[in-house]
């Protein structure tokens, strides 16, 4: 093959081509592992150029994917914005299925690929379009704000989407726009509870949960405080409200990243998916990452091997029925068009107003 990377050997050419990437991951990937990853990374990066493809990689991808082949990396909001801006012909979503659907909804003319169709999400599978139609019948006249962690079918029934980075801003915007004091925020119960503690808008919530974040417990935080009294503890808003109340800061994966990179804590605990710490570490050389983390089995289905396969065979294409995509696009685009918040959402107020009730459907 013309680029010389056809065979997956760790040749001097591969080593030279991937040397700057090795510098980013060498604290988290062993030299032996790199000899396996580097030839694939070189080949994938060359295929992207040949095929005019980009890879959108979520913060929960393993470091060899995130730093090795991701063209755009970030949280759900950042990736949705990048998908909308991209002029590539092919988008490979290194993330889960709802993210690929969001990219397709925003870019109907592009080919959107997901390397493993089984990369789902417990939040996205907690609710259907029919459920949302029933909720709307039960609460007529109230705006429906939907977390991006949902299928396109659910987004299509929705007024506006949000992510964990902008949920408070979107809920307040919707209440003002509709002239109401109650907003439906679905499907993540914990995100809804954590947003409720940040705003005077009353929240009606669904009982969906992230299987990764719901498993964290206040006991995890108490243990960390005892063992590492100086450590700063950051938690994702998909965690239970008591976990957020016990943490020092909470925010989306992008907000956690910004916190660590700008505040440079000596020791930090990231109460979220395990790859988060591995990926931030490259930009936070003076920080020690400690403490518990949980793996997302869906995110972990994406590997360098299946990304390579996806580019070679142009599989697995994610499609969304055009009329449904059009309706879902309105909800996602409305979110994207809101001005970015001056600061990423902070959930510190959870401490002051701990346990604000939501109406759970």
Q: Which residues bind ligand SF4 (CB under 6 A)?
A: 96, 121-123, 149, 210-212, 238, 273, 296, 298-299
Question: 17 or 191: whose CB is closer to ligand SF4?
Answer: 191
Q: Which stretch binds ligand 13P (CB under 6 A): 3-11, 71-79, 224-232, 350-358?
A: 71-79
149 touching ligand 13P, by CB under 6 A: yes
Which listed option, ligand 13P, ligand SF4, none, makes contact with residue 164 (CB within 5 to 8 Å by class)?
ligand 13P
Q: Which of residues 175-234 bind ligand 13P (CB under 6 A)?
A: 210
Residue from 253, 275, 278, 303 touching ligand 13P (CB under 6 A): that is 253
CB of 117 to ligand 13P, least distance (A): 17
Tell me: cis bond preceding 79? Omega within 30 of 0 counts.
Answer: no
122 touching ligand 13P, by CB under 6 A: no
Q: Which stretch binds ligand 13P (CB under 6 A): 9-17, 157-165, 173-181, 328-336?
A: 157-165
Question: 125 or 267: whose CB is closer to ligand SF4?
Answer: 125
CB of 163 to ligand 13P, least distance (A): 4
Q: Is 52 left (phi over 0), alpha (psi -120 to 50) or beta?
A: left
How far, in Å, CA of 81 to CA of 79, rounded? 5
CB of 268 to ligand SF4, least distance (A): 19
241 touching ligand 13P, by CB under 6 A: no
Nearest to 190 by CA among 164, 154, 159: 164
How far, in Å, CA of 321 to CA of 76, rounded? 22
59 touching ligand 13P, by CB under 6 A: yes
Question: 210 or 245: whose CB is closer to ligand SF4?
Answer: 210
How far, in Å, CA of 166 to CA of 252, rounded? 9
Which listed option, ligand SF4, ligand 13P, none, makes contact with residue 211 (CB within 5 to 8 Å by class)?
ligand SF4
Beta strands 72-74; 90-94: pairing state:
unpaired
Which listed option, ligand SF4, ligand 13P, none, makes contact with residue 253 (CB within 5 to 8 Å by class)?
ligand 13P
Q: Which stretch binds ligand 13P (CB under 6 A): 29-37, 69-77, 137-145, 340-348?
A: 69-77
163 touching ligand 13P, by CB under 6 A: yes
Contact of 38 with 61, CB cutoff 8 Å? no
CB of 242 to ligand 13P, least distance (A): 19
CB of 218 to ligand 13P, least distance (A): 20
Q: Which stretch binds ligand 13P (CB under 6 A): 64-72, 133-141, 163-171, 286-294?
A: 163-171
Residue from 46, 164, 194, 275 touching ligand 13P (CB under 6 A): that is 164
Which listed option, ligand 13P, ligand SF4, none, makes contact with residue 122 (CB within 5 to 8 Å by class)?
ligand SF4
Nearest to 349 by CA among 194, 198, 193, 195: 198
CB of 51 to ligand SF4, least distance (A): 27
The site for ligand 13P (CB under 6 A) is made up of: 59, 75-77, 149, 163-165, 210, 238, 252-253
């Amino acid at each position: 093959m013309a680029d010389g990377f056809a065979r997956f050997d760790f040749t001097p050419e591969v080593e030279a081509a991937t040397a700057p990437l090795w510098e980013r991951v060498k604290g988290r990937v062993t030299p032996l592992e790199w000899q396996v990853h580097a030839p694939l990374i070189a080949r994938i990066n060359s295929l992207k150029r040949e095929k005019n493809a980009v890879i959108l990689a979520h913060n929960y991808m393993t470091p060899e994917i995130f730093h090795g082949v991701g063209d755009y990396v970030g949280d759900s909001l950042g990736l949705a914005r990048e998908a909308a801006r991209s002029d590539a012909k092919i988008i490979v979503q290194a993330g889960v299925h709802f993210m690929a659907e969001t990219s397709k909804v925003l870019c109907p003319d592009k080919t959107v690929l997901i390397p493993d169709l089984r990369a789902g999400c417990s939040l996205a599978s907690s609710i259907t379009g029919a459920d949302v139609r029933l909720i709307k019948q039960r609460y007529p006249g109230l705006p429906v704000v939907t977390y991006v962690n949902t299928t396109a079918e659910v987004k299509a029934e929705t007024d506006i989407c949000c992510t964990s980075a902008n949920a408070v801003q979107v809920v307040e915007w919707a209440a003002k726009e509709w002239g109401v004091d109650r907003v439906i925020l679905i499907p993540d119960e914990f995100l809804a509870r954590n947003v409720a503690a940040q705003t005077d808008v009353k929240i009606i919530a669904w009982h969906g949960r992230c299987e990764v974040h719901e498993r964290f417990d206040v006991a995890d935080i108490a243990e960390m405080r005892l063992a590492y009294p100086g450590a700063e503890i950051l938690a994702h808003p998909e965690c239970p409200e008591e976990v957020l109340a016990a943490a020092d800061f909470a925010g989306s994966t992008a907000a956690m990243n910004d916190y660590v990179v700008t505040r440079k804590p000596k020791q930090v605990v990231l109460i979220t998916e395990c790859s988060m710490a591995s990926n931030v570490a490259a930009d936070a050389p003076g920080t020690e990452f400690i403490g518990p983390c949980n793996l997302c089995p869906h995110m972990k289905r994406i590997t360098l091997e299946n990304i390579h396969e996806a580019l070679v065979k142009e599989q697995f294409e994610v499609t969304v029925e055009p009329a449904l995509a059009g309706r879902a696009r309105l909800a996602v685009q409305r979110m994207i068009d809101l001005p970015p918040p001056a600061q990423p959402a902070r959930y510190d107020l959870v401490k002051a107003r701990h346990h604000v009730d939501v109406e759970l459907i």
